Amino acid sequence: MNWGSILDNTLSFMLSPETIGFMLAALGLAVHFGYAGLLNFGMAGFMAIGAYGYAISILSFGFPWWAAMLVSIVGAVIFAILLGIPTLKLRGDYLAIVTIAAAEIVRLLFQSRVFDEWTNSADGLGGYHDSFRSANPIPEGTFGIGPWEFTSDQWWSRLFGLFLVALGLLLVWLLMRSPWGRVLKGIREDEDAVRSLGKNVYLYKMQALIIGGVLGALGGVVIALPSAVIPQYYLPSLTFFVWTALLLGGAATLFGPILGAVLYWGVMAFLAGLLPAMANEGWLPMSSTAAGNFRFVLVGLALMLLVAFRPQGLLGNKKEMTFVK
Amino acid sequence: MSSSSPDPTASDAPEAADAPLSQDAAQELEGIDEDTVVETLEVEPTHEIHHATGLATGPGAPGVAKVDPILVADHITRSFGGNKAVDVDHLEIPRNAITALIGPNGAGKTTLFNLLSGFDKPDTGEWSFNGRSLAGIPAFKSARLGQVRTFQLTKVLARLTVLESMKLGANGQRGESIWQAVVPPLWKSQEREIEERALGLLQKFKLFEKKDDYSASLSGGQRKLLEMARALMTQPEFVLLDEPMAGVNPALVQSLLDHVLDLKAEGMTVLFVEHDMHMVRHIADWVVVMAEGRIVAEGPPGEVMKDPAVIDAYLGSHLDEDIGVITGRYDEEGNRLP
Amino acid sequence: MTTIGSLRRRRSAPRASGASTPAPGPQHTSPWRGLWLIVVTFFVVILQAAAPATAQGDGSQVNVEEHDQNIVANVRYNNEPVAEVRVVVSGGGYEAEAVTNERGQVRIGVPTTDPYEVLLDEETLPEGVTVEGENPITVAFGSQFFAPANFFLGEDVRETASFMSQFIERFFNGINFGLMLALASIGLSLIFGTTGLTNFAHAEMVTFGAIIALWMWNLGLPILLAIVVAVIASGLFGWSFDAALWRPLRRRGIGLVQMMILTIGASLAGRYIFLIFIGGGTSQLPGTGGVRHQIFGPVKLSTVDMVSMGLSLLVLLAVSYWLLRTRIGKATRAVADNRQLASASGIDVESVTRIVWVIGGALAGLSGVLWAYFRPGIKWDMGVQILLLIFAAVVLGGLGTAFGALIGSLVIGILVEVSTLWIPSDIKYVGALGVLVIVLLFRPQGLLGRRERVG
Ligand SMILES: Nc1ncnc2c1ncn2[C@@H]1O[C@H](COP(=O)(O)OP(=O)(O)OP(=O)(O)O)[C@@H](O)[C@H]1O
Ligand SMILES: [Mg+2]
């Protein structure tokens, strides 16, 4: 077993666009669930809209990369409004089911042959990278140390992603220490009480849904930046993975989503190296493919253990438990 | 937006009228003042007496018009399945007075509160607050107009500290707009004012020491206090309190009653639900009795409690004792029992 | 990164010849108009099998290299090949499409030897021409690695009649599908009603039943016995799921939202355990995709369809009887109505909960078997494929009401199947999910559910 390369891959993946995209998506989910108490299980839908909005704007309409990102943001806002109108008045469990359904509707539409001209249906989109890469200010070449050695283009998408994460963190930090954030937290605790104090609960929830949704869409964009957009990626399980990352770090904390995303992908990358290698060595009674899939079993178990035994996550305060109802 | 905040000095009722009333109430609590009780027992209801309360324009009867109503409701009905929980033909709540809403369990008091405050929608009905129709208005808007309510089962904001919950109550906050929220200088000064006001109220409600604790850690009585104080942060004109004294330690009841009386002194109107007739008798200026969804009686406390319809509603038709007996503290003469 | 990056270009090349660029031959419409003979299509298997893939990239040969098995479809009209017709192959989660070449033929590679559905897109036919025979055609591989599908074309003269008959046929299909959904959703609804648990792992209980049936059959049991064993095993699974996980957690007083996320974790874990055990492929139960008999009018049902519908109806009637007439059934409804109240009035809530888990598990297992026949095929994630439809059915009826779930299931089943008359079949679930969202817009408590009280 090659421990060196497994470790190398793990460390490298902790700074991958996918990890960074997860940071943004988990931060968005923290706004939804951690601060506003909205059980949004449709994050994959926001991520898909971000990614497709970006790719389609470039491929079908020839937009520059930054305009394509604006399209993603606008798409996420529209989706949040459409999703919010019927759902924000619903009870928690209904909200969870309906948001999953809405995200699935989005995915099925992107996957359908009906819009093949723009979405390329089940095969997805690729080849939209030129515009973003042409804006790369980093000189050609390979930089970095150890596991974090990347080419100029690779650095560009990572640094840009981290820049968005920093912006997102600043925004969430500013909002959550303001009276606006106080109303939001109040809604999380008991929306009827907040309503009785004259706050337009529906409006606040909608604003939270939009902000978190835009963060999720940007997460989708960051993940898609250097790779491709494939509809099968945006299954409900993607949402569950983001949830796992969020609950790992701590839902109602500022840095919880960031830490959670890094740890989630660190562990996943580590297991992706370790488990098949163990199977190959004969230490696991399964094929190496099966061993690779075994880590998703572990994700499921980790999600269960977290929720049952440490609902406040790694960074959360025990007194400030995430679940009240 | 803050049009609702009343100015105590500009209130309609003469201050002189308020002060003795609160004193009376305080005395009655001690069980000293027997005059008022005897009076209501001996004197048959007449127009003059009703006019003496200065609230109603006629004798105490369901739906009687008020001199200066803050809230007027008409034909409000609400059914759950086949069960008509509320069926109120006409109701007026007098301004700058304490009105008690009483009635047996399941009479529809909470449901009526829910309807008036916009938390539930009636099957039929119209009601207006300060002459402004509230039918179909969402709950948060009617709260903004100056009509706030509390809940029978307290709704504390568990993971907010006591002070945060209080500050949440204040209305017209600039920092509650998402655009201004991200620029702290825009709302910091207002925040300081709100905090001062919140701390003042907490002091008054004896919750100051708890200000940095999570609301979840408060006791049942403290929660009732917090909920009331939080409602007052909105500077309302009309407060609807759903059993503010229920489950509260007798030691706290005294201070809660004082708070309710203070509200009136500050020019507010109070409508509250209470099962303890003793308390109703001593702080209410007017009593509305509900049974099976309907208003069965209305009038000043002493008189209403002698109303056969009320005794009926509570005890069944074969008993005709004073309703105060229920609390076990008064005999039929209105004397406190040892 | 680069391989994925070139995806679009690689993919769009064959596509362009089919959709956007004008085809070389002008035989698009004119030569076909006015022809009246019903035409039989035929195929020359040997020739095609032997013929090298001459026209790679012309859109008629798709995934031929990637997979060992090929489906060959021929489209002919008046004994002449028809080009530029879109043919879609789907089944077992795989889907591919191709456009016929000048010889009126497509060749599509498929990953397994399971039956596939071959659908001719009538929109792409020349004007005035329609498919006369079956469309889609279900093809099965024998011992060979290729399978033919022949489309009979004829003049488009019976448009209205065929719409009505299509409607009736899909309506029946929808009832079949809805009954199968009902089995799963009643269990889900009862579990929700009695414990408040929104059980996402119900999907895995569905898959579990199908997998056990397959396993038993592989062990040599006759299929009916295998199904009975699977249903019993599913009931036991439901019981042990509750006993091992949910009962202890209920005792600890864990909140309902936490419990819901726990079920999501369990669902993920369970699904991937199935994947590890049975792999990513699709396996069939015996008797899948049999001959379809004409029942009456346009309604054609296979034996399996009929047995499945009959069985569902029987079981649903039994469950209804149980809920309405037996003591435990009534107790179950009482608990579903109000757990505290039922407990206070002397009902043993825990034992009712246990029974509900057993029955919910057994029903889910049975619906898994039927779903395996309906899809067709058994796959590790077959349960989650219908989980949202089950939820949609339950929510439509109002969470926690068993009969609401039944009605909701039928509505969803029929809607999904019938809607394909107007919308492409690859978004047929969108309609059902959209209805879910819209119903909740107007009735946030579900169709039959009750509103909660405030204050
Ligand atoms: N959401 C609801 N669904 C069904 N029935 C309801 C609902 N809310 C109230 N009811 C019924 O309406 C009637 C009136 O209830 P309400 O809560 O208004 O009584 P109340 O006067 O406040 O009683 P209490 O003094 O015990 O608080 C009761 O019979 C109650 O069961
Ligand atoms: Mg009440």
For B212-234, what is the mean pLDDT? Answer: 89
Residue B132 lies in a domain: yes
Structure tokens that stand for A51 in this block: 């990614």
Reading the block at residue B148, the tokens are: 């706030």
Q: Is the peptide bond before C26 cis (omega within 30 degrees of 0)?
A: no
So what's the pLDDT on residue C43?
Answer: 29
Quick check: A93 contacting C, CB < 8 Å? yes
> In this model, does residue C82 exceed pLDDT 90?
no
Please report residues of B whose CB lies closer than 8 A to that of C455. Answer: 110, 113-114, 119, 149, 151-153, 242
Say if B2 falls within a structural domain. no
3-state secondary structure (DSSP) of residue C247: helix
Among B190-199, B277-286, C378-387, name the one with the lowest average pLDDT: B277-286
Q: Tell me the CATH number of domain A3-133+153-309, given options 1.10.3210, 1.10.3470, 3.90.1530, 1.20.1280.
A: 1.10.3470
- Chain A, 142 to 201: residues with Cβ < 8 Å from chain C are 192
CB B70 within 8 A of CB B236: no
Which of A275-279, B27-31, B89-93 has the least mean pLDDT? B27-31
Name the residue with tokens 């054609």.
Answer: C300
Give the model's confidence band at B36: pLDDT under 50 very low, under 70 low, under 90 confident, else very high: very low
pLDDT value of residue A319: 62
Residue C155 has pLDDT above 80, yes or no: no
Judge if B87 and B223 occupy the same domain.
yes
Does residue B25 share a domain with residue B99?
yes
Interval B325-337 mean pLDDT: 47
Gap between the Cα atoms of C330 and C32, Å rounded: 66
Structure tokens at A197: 């104090």
pLDDT of residue B52: 55
Domain assignment present for B15: yes
**Mean pLDDT to the nearest integer, C1-26:** 35
Pairing status of strand B147-149 against strand B238-242: parallel
Whether chain A has a CB inside 8 Å of the CB on B299: the answer is no
Q: Rounded distance, CA C391 to CA A102, Å?
A: 13
Closest CB to B184 among A178, A190, A319: A178
List, in sequence order, every beta strand (DSSP E) within B274-318. Answer: 286-291, 294-299
**Tokens read off for A304:** 């269960």
A51, A58, A116, A130, C102 from A125: Cα distances, Å: 10, 11, 10, 14, 30
Q: 3-state secondary structure string, A90-149?
A: CCHHHHHHHHHHHHHHHHHHHHCHHHHHHHCHHHCECCCCHHHHHCCCCCCCEEEECCEE
Of the ranges B127-136, B242-251, C228-237, the best mean pLDDT one: C228-237
Same domain, B149 and B95: yes
**Which protein residue has the closest C-alpha to ligand 1 atom 9?**
B111
What is the fold, at CATH topology level, of the domain defined by C61-154?
Immunoglobulin-like (2.60.40)
Judged against a pLDDT cut of 50, whether residue B20 lies above it is answered with no
In this predicted structure, what is the pLDDT of residue A283? 86
pTM over 0.90: no
pLDDT band, residue B220 (cuts 50/70/90)? confident
Same domain, B188 and B282: no
- Reported as a single tens digit per residue, the pLDDT across B236-269 is 999 999 988 877 777 778 877 888 888 888 899 9
pLDDT, mean of residues B34-55: 48
Q: Which ligand 1 atom sits closest to the C-alpha of B108? A: 18
Q: At C334, phi and psi to the nearest 5?
A: -65, -40
More confident residue, A29 or C284: A29
Inter-chain touch A196–B150, beta carbons under 8 Å: yes
Would you state the pLDDT for residue C17? 33
Domain identity same for B84 and B192: no
Pick the closest to residue C181 from C399, C398, C436, C390 (CA basis). C390
* Low-confidence stretches of chain A (pLDDT beneath 70): 1, 318-325
Q: Does residue C5 carry a pLDDT above 80?
A: no
Which residues on neighbouring strands pair with residue C99, listed in sequence order?
Answer: C86
Lowest mean pLDDT among A1-10, B60-69, B144-153, B199-208: B60-69
**Cβ-Cβ contacts under 8 Å for B140 (sequence gap 6 or more):** A195, A196, A197, A198, A199, A200, A201, B118
Q: Which strands, in side-by-side order, build the sheet including C137-139?
A: C94-99, C86-91, C116-120, C137-139
Please give the residue range of the domain that contains residue B174.
162-212
Higher-pLDDT residue of B26 and C288 is C288
Take residue C135 and report the two structure tokens written for it. 């469309």
> Contact at 8 Å (CB) between C439 and C446?
yes
| Highest mean predicted confidence (pLDDT) among B100-109, B197-206, C146-155, C232-241 | C232-241
For residues B200 and B65, state if they share a domain: no
Rounded CA separation A239/C201 (Å): 16
Residue C123 vs residues B32, B161, C138, C153, C158: alpha-carbon distances, Å? 94, 64, 20, 13, 16
Which of B288, B236, B232 lies closest to B256, judged by CA?
B232
- Which residue in the block uniquely carries the two structure tokens 């560009």? A156
What pLDDT score was predicted for residue B8? Answer: 40
A17, amino acid identity: P
Ligand 1 pocket list (CB less than 6 A): B 80, 83, 85, 103, 105-111, 152; C 451, 453
Mutate which of B76, B79, B80 for ligand 1? The one with the most ligand atoms within 8 Å of its CB, which is B80
Amino acid at residue number C264: I
Q: Based on the structure, what is the number of domains in chain B?
A: 2
Residue C162 has pLDDT above 80, yes or no: no
Q: Is the pLDDT of residue C304 over 70?
A: yes
What confidence score (pLDDT) does residue A36 get? 93
Say yes or no to pLDDT of C446 above 80: no
Q: Beta strands C80-81 and C105-110: pairing type? A: unpaired
ipTM of the complex: 0.90
Query: What is the pLDDT at residue C158?
Result: 45
According to DSSP, the residues that pair with B287 across neighbouring strands are: B100, B299
Distances (CA, A) of C408 to C174, C175, C429: 12, 12, 14
Contacts of C228 (CB under 8 A, 6+ apart): none
Residues A242-259 as b/e (b if ≥16 CB within 10 A, e otherwise) read bbbbbbbbbbbbbbbbbb
Question: Both B44 and B167 in a single domain?
Answer: no
Mean pLDDT of chain B: 78
Residues in chain C closer than 8 A to B149 (CB atoms): 455
Q: Is B3 inside a domain boundary?
A: no
The order of strands in the sheet holding B69-80 is B83-94, B69-80, B124-129, B132-133
Rounded to 5 degrees, what are φ and ψ at B178?
A: -60, -30
Taking the C-alpha atoms of residue C136 and residue C70, their distance in angstroms, rounded to an integer, is: 17
Which residue type occupies C198?
T
Contact A208, A35 (CB under 8 A): yes
- Confidence check: pLDDT of B2 > 90: no
C186 vs C434: CA distance, rounded Å: 21
What is the rounded average pLDDT of the residues C322-346?
86
Would you call the peptide bond into C52 cis, given omega within 30 degrees of 0 as the criterion? no
* Closest-CA distance of chain C to residue A298, Å: 7
Q: Where are the domains of chain C?
A: 61-154, 163-453
Please give the pLDDT value at position C211: 96
Q: Has residue C47 got a pLDDT over 70?
A: no
Sequence-ordered list of residues with C-beta below 8 angstroms from that of A188, at least 6 positions apart, any chain: A35, A36, A37, A324, B159
Q: Which fold has domain C163-453?
A: ABC transporter involved in vitamin B12 uptake, BtuC (1.10.3470)
Nearest-angstrom CA–CA distance, B257 and B126: 31
Q: Is residue B337 part of a domain?
A: no
Query: Does the CB of C454 have a partner CB in chain B at under 8 Å?
Result: yes
DSSP state of B88: E
Question: Residue B54's domain is classified under what CATH number?
Answer: 3.40.50.300
pLDDT at C132 over 90: no
- Residues in chain B whose Cβ is within 8 Å of chain C: 110, 113-114, 119-120, 149, 151-153, 242
| Minimum-distance CB partner of C436 among A101, A123, A302 | A101
Residues B319 and B330: their CA atoms lie apart, in Å, by: 15
Q: How far apart are CA C207 and CA C225, in angstroms?
A: 18
Is pLDDT at C315 greater than 70 in this prediction?
Answer: yes
Give residue A30's identity as a one-letter amino acid code: A
Cβ atoms of A75 and A118 within 8 Å: the answer is no
Kindly state whether residue B1 falls inside one of the protein's structural domains.
Answer: no
Residue C8 has pLDDT above 80, yes or no: no
The Å distance, Cα C346 to ligand 2 centre, comes to: 26
Q: How far is CA B224 from CA B215, B219, B271, in A?
A: 11, 9, 16
Nearest to C292 by CA among C134, C73, C122, C90: C134
Q: Sorting pLDDT into bands at 50, 70 and 90, what band is B333?
A: low
My answer on whether B105 and B150 are in the same domain is yes
Q: Specify the pLDDT at position A14.
A: 92
* Separation CA A314–CA A247 (nearest Å): 8
The mean pLDDT of chain C is: 78
pLDDT at B17 over 50: no
> What element of type H or E holds C305?
helix C303-325
Tell me if C114 sits within 8 A of C139, measured CB to CB.
Answer: no
**A257 upstream amide cis, omega within 30 of 0:** no
Pick the residue of B101, B115, B120 with the most C CBs within 10 A to test the interface with C by mutation: B120
pLDDT confidence band for C236 (50 / 70 / 90):
very high
Q: Tokens representing C382?
A: 């077959």
pLDDT tens digit string along C359-410?
A: 999 999 999 999 999 888 899 999 999 999 998 898 888 766 778 889 999 9
Chains touching A (at least 3 CB pairs under 8 A) are B, C
Q: What spacing in Å lies between the alpha carbon of B106 and ligand 1's midpoint?
A: 5
Half-sphere exposure of C298 (CA within 13 A, CB side): 15
pLDDT, average across residues B210-219: 88
Q: Amino acid identity, residue B54?
A: G
Bridge-based pairing of strands C80-81 and B286-291 is: unpaired
Contact A109, A115 (CB under 8 A): yes
Q: Which residues 160-199 of A are in CB contact (within 8 Å) with B?
A: 171, 174-175, 177-183, 185-186, 188-190, 192-199
Enumerate the domain spans of chain A: 3-133+153-309
Any domain includes B333: no
Measured CA to CA, the distance from residue C37 to residue C4 in angstroms comes to 48
The whole-angstrom separation of Cα C25 and Cα C33 is 16
